[in-house]
Amino acid sequence: MLGRRAAGKAAGQRAGTPAGTSRDEALRLENVRKVYGTEDNQVVALDGVSLSLPAGSFTAVMGPSGSGKSTLLQCAAGLDVPSEGRIFVDGAELAGESEAALTRFRRQRIGFVFQQYNLLPTLTVMQNVTLPLKLAGRRVDRERAQAVLERVGLGDRLGHLPAELSGGQQQRVAIARALVTEPRVLFGDEPTGALDTRSARDVLGLLREAVRGYGRTVVMVTHDPVAASYADTVLFLADGRIVGHLPTPSAEAVAERMTRLAEDVERQRAMTGAGR
């Protein structure tokens, strides 16, 4: 099992990031809003979110259902466009004059690991891992791809198809596929949600290794306090706003904070409904 947490890591929203940090900034959001629906029936998914995450950090994002955590990840990763605000990855603004330009930006700077592994069933492990390089028109370095696969424990599975692997192994392929492009920020959307406990621990250890061994910045949306405890910091969202952060989290502390937050949200929504 890989180490749970590297000492000295920290991440958080603008108000929660330690002052005077000298490390590079990997991700910054400035007053990001995301509104769905029409003017007469608007749903505010993100309500002026600002945050700054240093390079080489692991941040978990948590919140009650409908808090905006998935929308935050999608906007930060360039999978959705905010209604207002600006997003910077590795100092460059996440924006483009066309979808093609935005796609190129994502391929150069961003990696993804989702709950569903999204592997192509007819391609081997090696082919799945090197596919993003081919799509980006980059040179396929098979030696590097093999080294990454060996790092995630799949050096002896290069020629296997996804159907010949367990769920945990498939997620390891997905992590290797994300790492081989050398992204500045790696986003995970419930990456352990479909895994058993042991496989989930292995995958979380690999995400920590992405931070420790590869110097990547990881941002992970999760509902699981145990998964969140592998992060350096947990950000808590409610009704589209960052309402708190927890550095060096434990599973118990995260669960307690989430319980209080859910109660506060229900109380606030009940009061809002009563006042209408």
3-state secondary structure the chain: CCCCCCCCCCCEECCCCCCCCCCCEEEEEEEEEEEEEECCEEEEEEEEEEEEEECCCEEEEECCCCCCHHHHHHHHCCCCCCCEEEEEECCEECCCCCHHHHHHHHHHHEEEEECCCCCCCCCCHHHHHHHHHHHCCCCCCHHHHHHHHHHCCCCCCCCCCHHHCCHHHHHHHHHHHHHCCCCCEEEEECCCCCCCHHHHHHHHHHHHHHHHCCCCEEEEECCCHHHHCCCCEEEEEECCEEEEEEECCCHHHHHHHHHHHHHHHHHHHHHHHHCC
Provide the pairing of β-strand 92-93 with 58-62.
Answer: unpaired
In-domain check, residue 15: no
pLDDT at 99 (0 to 100):
83
Q: Given pLDDT bands bounded at 50, 70 and 90, which one contains residue 100?
A: confident
Q: Which residue has the higher pLDDT, 138 or 122?
A: 122
CA distance 37 to 44: 9
* Domain presence at residue 145: no
The whole-number pLDDT of residue 19 equals: 34
pLDDT tier at 97 (50, 70, 90 boundaries)?
Answer: low
Percent of the chain with pLDDT over 90: 71
**Residues near 234 by Cβ (< 8 Å), separated by ≥ 6?**
59, 60, 61, 62, 228, 245, 246, 249, 254, 257
Whole-model pTM? Answer: 0.86
User: Average pLDDT in the 37-63 region?
Assistant: 93
Average pLDDT, the chain: 87
What CATH number is given to the structural domain containing 243? 3.40.50.300
Cα–Cα distance between 9 and 248 in angstroms, integer?
A: 8
The pLDDT value given to residue 21: 37
The stretch 116-121 carries a mean pLDDT of 93
Task: Examine residue 44 and state whether it is found in any structural domain, yes or no.
Answer: yes
Q: List C-alpha distances in Å: 106 to 65, 118, 216.
A: 27, 17, 15
Q: What is the CA radius of gyration of the chain?
A: 19
Residues 219-245: pLDDT tens digits? 999 999 999 999 999 999 999 999 999
Q: Are 166 and 199 in contact (CB under 8 A)?
A: yes
pLDDT tens per residue, range 181-197: 999 999 999 999 989 99
Residue 162 lies in a domain: no
Q: Specify which of 104-113, 239-248, 267-276 reaches the highest per-range mean pLDDT.
A: 239-248
Partners of residue 35 on adjacent β-strands = 44
In a domain, 268, yes or no: yes
* 3-12, 30-39, 121-130, 145-154: least confident range: 3-12
Number of domains in the chain: 1
On whether residue 12 sits in a domain, the answer given is no
Domain range for 28 is: 23-115+184-274
- Asked whether residue 42 is assigned to any structural domain, the reply reads yes
94 closest CA partner among 117, 77, 73, 111:
77
